[in-house]
Amino acid sequence: MHKKTVVILLLFGLIFGSNPAFAQSTCNLAAIRAAFTGAGCVELANCQDACSLYFILPVQMSGNSAQAFAQNLGANLISVESLAENTCIVNNLNSLGYGGVIWIGFNDIAQEGNFVWFDQAPVIYTHWAGGEPNNSGNEDCTQIYPNGFWNDLSCGSANSKSVIEVNLCPQITVTPNPASATVCRGQGVTLSAVTILGSPAYTYSWGPATGLSTTAGSSVVASPQITSNYTVTVTDRYGCTATNTKTVNINVATANAGADQTTCLGTPVTFMGSGGVTYSWTPATGLNSAAIMNPTATPAYTTPYTLTVTDANGCTGTDNILVNVNPLPPANAGPDAPICVGTPTNLNATGGVSYSWFPASGLSNTAIANPVANPATTTTYTVTVTDANTCVNTDAVLVTVNPYPRPMQG
């Protein structure tokens, strides 16, 4: 294995999280060789490694035309990553009788003085001849001499042969937006895949499908219900593949409005909300405040309330609580009763399951529905009625005590 393979394996494997060593097993090498030899190229078979096939294009072309020719076949002019690779290419060329200066893929077209490889491989090795690069006459491309040294030349002139590299190890990066790949449940993270090396055009397959806007294409939106890992597989035009996995983190705000409550009309209950840093209750009807954790509620009738909480991550969650409002019992103390002093009368209350009379004076029993009343003076009796739901109500009855008439004097 050439040093280039080791460097790419270590550097790209660490950076991009895929394993080039497995790429060649998926590549259709026969299709690659057929495409390039069919286009007039000759394979430099002595330099093949796990991640690269090399071809000499013996047709004289400018640097620009040579790169365009390579790209049309899904490749680039060679990127040289080590002295061993540089030496192997030169020796293989010389053994096949291809002398003279030959194009390689080093260029500073994008930014003068900043040489990069057409295939975006890292710049970890150079082999310039003495005094080069000198940019004499806007020299943005590079040729290799028979002795292995490099010289910068104008891309649009100096026609020569060229060395083309077919990279068998595509490298894929996945960039999330937002960059943290962390959102609230119900929101989405855009995952964008970018592939370098390999042979375009690329196709992409994402999985699992759960929570994805699509499973194809270089960009997808992931909106899972829980934190999930998504893996993308890129396949280039010759069947070479690479994978990368990205974790999408989901924050969940867990609202808790508390247990349903039952109360009697007019009796407040206290909510016990939790799960957030801010709170909002709806509807506001019957609440002493709709924006606190634990409001008191006094609804006029059975009412469902919804709690929306916002947590420290800005995520929201909801929960519901039902307040059952029981009506007050129809307390009835009976009709007012006029009596003569010393003459008892029966009181007759209705509407509940238990009763309590006040005051006790003059009553035979304060804890029954129909006590006997024999007050010495006119008295208003109040009865407190409790029903099966423990709701209470009151009513009053007036017992008017009339004195006996005095006998007439004869």
Domain regions of the chain by residue span: 3-167, 171-251, 261-326, 337-402
Can you give the pLDDT at residue 101? 83
Just give the CATH number of 171-251: 2.60.40.10
Can you give the pLDDT at residue 21? 34
**Backbone region of residue 132 per phi and psi (left: phi > 0; alpha: psi in -120 to 50; beta: other values):** beta
The yes/no answer on whether domain 3-167 falls in CATH 3.40.50.720 is no
DSSP string, 390-410: S-EEEEEEEEEEEPPPPPPP-
Decide if 376 contacts 368 (C-beta within 8 A).
no
Q: How far is CA 269 from CA 259, 283, 297, 298, in A?
A: 12, 15, 5, 7
The yes/no answer on whether domain 261-326 falls in CATH 1.10.1040.20 is no
DSSP 4: H
Nearest Cα to Cα of residue 231 among 246, 220, 241: 246
**Hey, which residues does 355 pair with through a beta bridge?**
385
Supply the pTM of this predicted model.
Answer: 0.75
- Number of other CB atoms surrounding residue 238 within 10 Å: 23
Helix (H) or strand (E) holding 177: strand 171-177
Just give the CATH number of 337-402: 2.60.40.10
State the Cα–Cα distance between residues 56 and 51, nearest whole angstrom. 17
Decide if 397 contacts 345 (C-beta within 8 A).
no
Can you give the pLDDT at residue 410? 57
Q: Which residues contact 169 (CB under 8 A, 6 or more apart)?
A: 8, 12, 20, 23, 24, 50, 51, 52, 197, 198, 240, 242
**pLDDT tens for the chain, residues 1 to 410:** 333 433 333 333 333 333 333 345 689 999 999 999 999 999 999 999 999 999 999 999 999 999 999 999 999 999 999 999 999 999 999 999 998 889 999 999 999 999 999 999 999 999 999 999 998 778 999 999 999 999 999 998 768 999 999 999 999 999 999 999 999 999 999 999 999 999 999 999 999 999 999 999 999 999 999 999 999 999 999 999 999 999 999 999 999 999 999 999 999 999 999 999 999 999 999 999 999 999 999 999 999 999 999 999 999 999 999 999 999 999 999 999 999 999 999 999 999 999 999 999 999 999 999 999 999 999 999 999 999 999 999 999 999 999 988 777 65
Decide if 117 contacts 95 (C-beta within 8 A).
no
Tokens 């430099």 label which residue? 44
- Number of other CB atoms surrounding residue 338 within 10 Å: 12
CA dihedral 15, 19, 20, 25 (to 10 degrees): -160
Nearest Cα to Cα of residue 105 among 140, 150, 141, 72: 141
Tokens 């309590």 label which residue? 356
Dihedral sign for Cα 11, 14, 20, 21, please: positive
CA atoms lying within 13 Å on the CB side of residue 131: 1
State the Cα–Cα distance between residues 132 and 150, nearest whole angstrom. 8
Decide if 169 contacts 24 (C-beta within 8 A).
yes
Equal fold, 3-167 vs 337-402: no
